[in-house]
Amino acid sequence: MAPPTEHPDDSTASSTDDLRPVPTVWGPASGVGSLPGTDPVEALRLVTGELPDFPHLPELPERGAGADMIGRAAALLVDLHVDLTPAGWRLVPRPGADERRAQALLARDMDALFEVAERYTGPFKVQVAGPWTLAAGLERTRGDRAVVDPGARRDLAQSLVEGIAAHVADVSARVPGAQVVVQLDEPSVPAVLQGGLPTVSGFGKLSAVEAHVVEELLTRLVDRVPAPVVVHCCAQRAPLDLFRAAGAAGLSFDLGTVQDLDAVGSAVEAGTHLLVGVVPGTDATLTPAKATASRLTAWWNELGFPAEQLHSAVTLTPACGLAGASPAYARTAMAHVREAAKYLQPE
């Protein structure tokens, strides 16, 4: 694949016969992605123990460069290469030590997955930075963010979807009973849409990208991912309508930040699954699990849907990743969403 160049977005090849079947059962509770700590085996044992019906592959950014969200996604890129500078990750012509470290960390996670969860059967989620967040977090060689260049965005999306497909196959080979779900983390999309991303110098803001351009690129990627796709954004003003229109099978968001109930209602009517963040991602005093379930039930009633649909329409999660939490709180938060989900089940 040629290095990113400046040229307009054009159509990414899309598989029209790829139906990407949605899992017949979404688990009642899951995690968002990151956890505190550095041991992938210990993290997987924690996740599979606390979230047995819908575990996920933990991300452990405390391990350093290459375990962070951008570095981890960059490790999946096919025929594109990155290295780490004092300012962050950058696209480069050839692979180097930083890229190899990121790939080695991911390979270690895959080995841990086989060790801990080889016999697991059911939905299993993996997370990766989405194309817009990745483009916002990578610099081009000439020094500006890849998100400003339509050609760079296109090349990144093509490379990323190839890497995601290989990752899904790798997970499936290690856990044959897993129904893999891919979560695209897109915390940068609101800033992309609103012109809120800072320039590399930090002295200005990048121009906003039109919503239809954001949706088109995301749609082309979602269409080619060989698994159901959840789009996660716990930032303010998460564009849920845009994510749903791009073909997401699920929407993951912080219940406390979503104000557009019409967008949520439209997603439910369209059959889009909701992964609802109901506890903070950092240490906090939590209410009883039954109170959390009652809060969600009241929210569901406000949306105007029948109470008996709630348990099958939502999966409970923390609001965001738990990397910034203490290990004790991370365990408590996962146990809390699992227990709260039990109160949503029909009697």
**Residues 290-340: tens digit of each pLDDT:** 999 999 999 999 999 999 999 999 999 999 999 999 999 999 999 999 999
pTM assigned to the model: 0.91
For 118, the enclosing helix (H) or strand (E) is: none
Q: Which pLDDT does position 144 carry in this prediction?
A: 87
Per-residue pLDDT tens for 96-152? 999 999 999 999 999 999 999 999 999 999 999 999 999 999 999 877 899 999 999
User: At residue 3, does pLDDT exceed 90?
Assistant: no
Q: Say which residues have a Cβ less than 8 Å from residue 310's Cβ, sequence separation at least 6.
A: 296, 297, 300, 344
Residue 182, both tokens: 């891919």
- 228 versus 346: the higher-pLDDT residue is 228
Strand pairing class (88-92; 81-85): antiparallel
Cα–Cα distance for residue pair 337/287, rounded to 1 Å:
11
Q: How confident is the model at residue 17 (pLDDT cuts 50, 70, 90)?
A: very low
